[in-house]
Amino acid sequence: MAKNKLNKNWLHDHINDPYVKQAQKDGFRARAAYKLKEIDEAEKLIKPGQVIVDLGCTPGSWAQYTRRKLSGKEGGGITGTIIGLDLLPMEPIADVHYIQGDFREDVVLDQLATVLEGRKTDLVLSDMAPNLSGIPTADAARMEHLIDLAIEFSQMHLKPGGALLVKCFKDMGFTQIVEKFRTEFKTVKQIKPKASRDKSSEIFLLGRGLKNPVEYKSGSERGAALDI
């Protein structure tokens, strides 16, 4: 009974959420687009000509917003490159390169390298969140693992002056995550956009300027090195 009541309350809040209504009006697939919009407008993250990677991009609202910032009219081409990566399928978005799979695997990284054509990225976005178990220590470990993956990806693919924006939660190993960001980035900022629900512990971390970039090698290059 309690679970049913909780689901009904969530559904009621969701249907009456002004950002949900605005997303439907603006053609965004999720209200999350307004979180990125607010952060972008404050931090001036997204600019025409950039190479941007969206980790955990499904259902695609961040990619939609990013696409609009790099162009104008949908289907009219963009100035820049947007690449979305996710384990889950995503409905196509005009001018967005979508790669389905685990970005830790060589086959996915090689597909990414093909699109990048030797270029480094200006911005890495991650709206990834773990499937919650309800066990605080386990959920914190899962969240921290996702952040580690985003940082490792950025170390390989970001320009030295590039930026990483990730979602995290204040009740899931947040202190340790902030320390990791400070170890890896020259400047770190915590951001709680208005579009993020007040009752949620959700918060975003923005890291700029890599301290420890890693030279990226494709799967074939790594294989060749092992054969020597």
Binding-site residue positions for S-adenosyl-L-methionine: 60, 62, 86, 102, 127
Residue 60 CA to residue 211 CA, distance in Å, equals 30
Contact yes or no for 150/182 (Cβ under 8 A): no
Catalytic residue chosen out of the listed positions 37, 69, 167, 180 = 167
Contact yes or no for 207/191 (Cβ under 8 A): no
DSSP per-residue codes, 70-98 = TSSSTTS--SSEEEEEESS-----TTEEE
Torsion sign (Cα): 8, 37, 187, 162: positive
Concerning whether 47 is annotated as a catalytic residue, the answer is: no
Binding residues: 60, 62, 86, 102, 127
Contacts of 66 (CB under 8 A, 6+ apart): 36, 46, 52, 54, 82, 125
Residue 63 CA to residue 93 CA, distance in Å, equals 8
Catalytic residues: 167
